[in-house]
Amino acid sequence: MDLLVSYQRGRHGRAKREILRVLERLGDERPLIERTAVDGIAFVRTALDGRLVVQGCRTLFQQGQAFEEAVKWVPVDYWCNADLETIHRLLVEHVRDRIAPNETWGLKVAKRRWQRFHTDEIVTQLAGAIDRKVDLDRPDKLVRVDVVGAEVAISVLRPDDVFSATATHSPPRGPPEADAIERNVGRPASRGEPDGPH
């Protein structure tokens, strides 16, 4: 499964070594770790289930494992090109049915190096793709759309599906997420073409 891992800008080499050490401890000795178009975000492909990796990171952190470089781990369910119609179609065809009619949802858009649209335009185009009740504070499912240059990672997340080593204390100098424009939104009360879950 794929993950996006955030690290401090300019420290990809150190972050890669830390990601390798963590994944080796969790049982994958040969993951693929690559730079993305955005400094501070690494692409990781592992033989392990991405959500189990997140749980494993949280357990290691609680046991005293230091996460000094690779500070945020987000599992990725789908990839597509950075095109609003393509993203909208993927949400309708693959994501909507993963949110039950009785579940609430929220949408988070993180836009990095995609100047074609303002974040509000992306939100307006995508919010109507999922006809479920919105809860912006504590949704049952969070649909996260990470625009990373020409590629888009889409994740359908429960509250515990993301690991952040900085969640309980002040973030390190120059956090990767500062490079993104993030917006939580919703409607009132392979890398490349659209792909299935990895």
Spans of all domains in the chain: 2-185
The C-alpha atoms of residue 123 and residue 119 are separated, in whole angstroms, by: 6
Coil, strand or helix at 60: helix
Is residue 167 within 8 Å of residue 67, measured between CB atoms? no
* Class of CATH domain 2-185: alpha beta
Q: What is the pLDDT of residues 62-120, one digit of tens each?
A: 999 999 999 999 999 999 999 999 999 999 999 999 999 999 999 999 988 777 788 88
Q: Is-above-0.85 flag for pTM? A: no
Q: Could you report how far apart the first and last alpha carbons of the chain are, in Å?
A: 4
**Gap between the Cα atoms of 23 and 29, Å rounded:** 7
Q: What is the pLDDT of residues 123-135, one digit of tens each?
A: 888 999 999 999 9
Q: Quick check: 78 and 88 in contact, CB under 8 A? A: no
